[in-house]
Amino acid sequence: MQPDKHNNSILPQDFRKLARELTIVENDLPGSEELLRGLKTSNTPVIGITGPPGAGKSTLVNAMINHMSAENKRIAVLAIDPTSPFNLGSLLGDRVRMAEQFNKPNVYIRSLATRGSLGGLSGKTIEMCDVLKAAGFDYILIETVGVGQSEVEIAGLADISVVVLVPESGDEIQNMKSGLMEIADIFVVNKSDREGADTFANNLKKLVHQRPEPIPVINTIADKAIGISELMEAIENQSIKENTRRIFLLGEKAWKLLQHHQMKHFDKNRLQQDIITASASPDFNLYRFIDTLSAGN
């Protein structure tokens, strides 16, 4: 699907088609593999927004959308929500929090459940992102749940990784420092009207200077749209990662997709039923049970 060359808006019927394609891919419906194999490559930059819970990532994404849409940019947002362990649905519903964006013709928002991926990024995230990349947007924003390994995993998907922290993250960053330092292209200190924000930002700047290449540290107050222009300027100044990094990222994506496809033939609901039956045996052993599953597939 390509946008109208004479109009910077994506037409409503294009969004309907895009929604159908994403649903087909997300649920492995008939035609999913053919659709994915027919996708055309795109240079649309993918911006990953990650960081610990409570950092204000959704509010920041909302402010970024407002800034970009004011410049008539076409934006897609893939919001990764925690998965309910009972129905594999998404719990947070970022689309509700971004309700003001619904009437904007150049903005498309889709929530995606993590589907049991401990780091928050599933193979479906990669596939759906690739569908969005083929749809003619100017930017794709991916917001992760900010738990487990998602801060590091986002580097395997995003061209630019934005790590969002708050002034109270001082102790937390000491524990996460190595992973964050490795993957962050931009640090955002959000809620910078809080006490200690300047001190925290300065300490963060000292840490990032240990990197071979400097990492921008941007102070924002997302709910007041303060610092968003500076953040977008920093994003614009980030070049798409060099070829060696790109090959690494493609390898990470391939590995994640291979894991996903290897597990596609397992039915989790059937697994639950099988384990109920098997565990009733007095000599039940989980590892022998797994061996029988592997042998049967």
Q: What is the pLDDT of residues 103-133, one digit of tens each?
A: 788 999 888 875 544 444 567 788 899 899 9
Cβ-contact 22, 140 below 8 angstroms: no
DSSP per-residue string spanning 17-32: HHHHHHHHHHTT-TTH
> Where does the chain have alpha helices with state H?
12-26, 32-37, 57-70, 94-97, 123-133, 150-153, 170-183, 197-208, 228-237, 243-263, 268-279, 286-296
All domains of the chain in start order, with CATH: 12-261 (3.40.50.300), 268-296 (no CATH)
Residue 204 has pLDDT above 50, yes or no: yes
Query: At residue 132, what are phi and psi to the nearest 5 degrees?
Result: -65, -35
User: What contacts 73, CB < 8 A, 6 or more positions away?
Assistant: 106, 138, 139
- Please give the structure tokens belonging to residue 162: 């934005």
Of 148 and 56, which is predicted with more confidence?
56
Give me the pLDDT at residue 280, please: 92
What is the pTM for the complete model shown?
Answer: 0.77
Q: What mean pLDDT is reported for the chain?
A: 78
- The closest alpha carbon to 113, from 123, 101, 100, belongs to 123
- Please give the structure tokens belonging to residue 25: 């891919």
Most confident of 54-58, 73-77, 125-129: 73-77
How far is residue 225's CA from residue 236's CA, in Å, rounded to a whole number? 18
Structure confidence by residue, pLDDT tens digits, 152-202:
567 667 888 898 999 987 665 665 555 666 778 899 999 999 999 999 899
Give me the pLDDT at residue 254, please: 79
- Please give the structure tokens belonging to residue 85: 């362990």
Q: Which of the residue ranges 46-50, 116-120, 263-267 would you say has the lowest mean pLDDT?
A: 116-120
Structure confidence by residue, pLDDT tens digits, 17-41:
999 999 998 888 999 889 998 988 7
**Whole-Å CA distances, 2 to 9, 74, 270:** 11, 12, 41
How far is residue 228's CA from residue 218's CA, in Å, rounded to a whole number? 9
Give me the pLDDT at residue 69, please: 92
Give me the pLDDT at residue 272, please: 87
- The closest alpha carbon to 146, from 188, 109, 107, belongs to 188
Q: For a pLDDT cut of 90, what percent of the chain falls above it? A: 29
How far is residue 269's CA from residue 37's CA, in Å, rounded to a whole number? 29
User: What contacts 160, CB < 8 A, 6 or more positions away?
Assistant: 45, 46, 47, 48, 185, 186, 235, 238
Give me the pLDDT at residue 188, please: 95
Query: At residue 189, what are phi and psi to the nearest 5 degrees?
Result: -100, 100
